[in-house]
Structure 1
């Protein structure tokens, strides 16, 4: 593969937060993975419309070509016969040839350095990370999202504190009551106008303001996690703590966490042993290897018992 331009980076999966996505790309294909094991292979190809002589050419797009793992190789999905399958196979093979030697280098460097934060309406302190992007030119296309705790079809966030208060997660009308309560709590901090602003996350950990608005914030005012733990109300703090505990295995994928935060998340995450086993390859650092290895062993035992 001569003179192929290769790019390898990671981006956060936000709104709702669901870990970090690894991206490895060549000029004609890319591979995406949320766990470092299973990679979705996408190939750049002419759109089907452009392959008909009597139809307008619509340019090139990425199409899912298959899934690849080191152990199983490429499992190709059915491909529209209008595509040039031979070229797509060649592009996929070139991609996999380039990707295979760097699997052990995961995770890739974080690239989504432009961040949009929901701001507290009064103090202008950052409350929750709404979205992010790699380039300043992408900010306008990513603007305007409200903070989401979980996907609409995901009912798995259950707050221990809300259960203590006898608040069920399914009230007969809403099967994700706890997520809805958390979303309302976080959004309320931004006020009626949903106050937000874009910042650039610099390599030294500081932030630079990207647009006019509130004054430049000091580096230590930004939460290390995608949602602030700074709440005046004890009930709010406990609800957010439940959310962080629920997402701990995914939060450990974040770059730049302080040792104290990472150690705390590891202690919480091991209660979800199977999630840790699925995601650990994308942890930039591991504070307590013995603790996480024990969780991985537990996950493997559970998997064996099920089978």
Structure 2
């Protein structure tokens, strides 16, 4: 069985945890509730049939199986998967180390992360346009200021997208990189890994560049990342300094921190995060039923 965590990208929307072999896979977006899917081969290609859900508290709950599925094969595979789920660690390792980055126009350096995969042979299947997408302002509950509303400004997320699009230029380019344990990376073109190594500091830890020329762009980017910070804290390869800064940015979003907290692989300041979780419990207790 393979065990891994993969980032959900373009837009970044957290991670998915996966346990899989050639016949069956289990997926979870919250590391608690899993959906089991059985691989079915047909003349039309590979599909995955949903066969049930599993969580540690309630165990396996089956779905009705399609009539054309091999029930005996499903039972053997699902029994093996349940054993893997019961023994799996709370968080699986994030190992999608091949990354496709949108490049800035002037320096041709990583600007925003578009896609990722775990193996070099998966890169060709990840056909992604050189166009970065933000999580929408509605999804993030990221409102315009009263002054922005007065002058009819577009949503924050849309304006951040426009900033990135402008910085990428009229003919945007993207490039694949293979990240190393020290977070530096080699550029990859097809089957070839190029010899020049790009230092880790050229790759934005929050998946989007934060250095902008104008104060307006800088403020927009900060507002977007600040609102996204509770989700960004699920990333597994953040430096201590980056995690500490994200935790500070997340201090205004205690309820979101409480929702994502069990997915955080590390904590920079235990006292701060405990206080945020207590605040979340108090605020939740005041919400109407």
Q: Over aligned residues, Cα RMSD in angstroms?
A: 2.6
1:117 to 101, 105, 109: 101
- Paired with 2:45 and 2:90, the residues of 1 have a C-alpha distance of 33
> Do the aligned partners of residues 137 and 189 (structure 1) sit closer, same or farther apart at CA in structure 2, a change above 3 Å counting?
same
> Do the aligned partners of residues 287 and 85 (structure 1) sit closer, same or farther apart at CA in structure 2, a change above 3 Å counting?
same
Tell me the CA shift for residue 86 of structure 1: 4.2
Identify the structure with the greater strand proportion. Answer: 2
1:22 to 14, 17, 42: 17
The number of aligned residues is: 283
1:141 to 96, 113, 125: 125
For structure 2, the 5+ residue unaligned runs are: none
Aligned position for 2:168: 190
> Do the aligned partners of residues 288 and 306 (structure 1) sit closer, same or farther apart at CA in structure 2, a change above 3 Å counting?
farther
The answer on whether the counterparts of 1:35 and 1:278 sit within 8 Å (CA) in structure 2 is no
TM-score (norm 2): 0.87
The answer on whether the counterparts of 1:20 and 1:250 sit within 8 Å (CA) in structure 2 is no
For structure 1, the 5+ residue unaligned runs are: 1-5, 48-56
Aligned position for 1:150: 135
Trace 1:148-227 onto structure 2 (pairs within 5 A): 148-150=133-135, 155-157=138-140, 159=142, 162-163=144-145, 165-167=147-149, 177-211=155-189, 217-227=198-208
> Helix, strand or coil: the match of 2:170?
coil
The answer on whether the counterparts of 2:115 and 2:128 sit within 8 Å (CA) in structure 1 is no
Aligned position for 1:51: none
1:9 to 4, 7, 21: 4
> Do the aligned partners of residues 58 and 295 (structure 1) sit closer, same or farther apart at CA in structure 2, a change above 3 Å counting?
same
Higher RCO (CA-CA < 8 Å; seq separation 6+): 1
TM-score (norm 1): 0.82
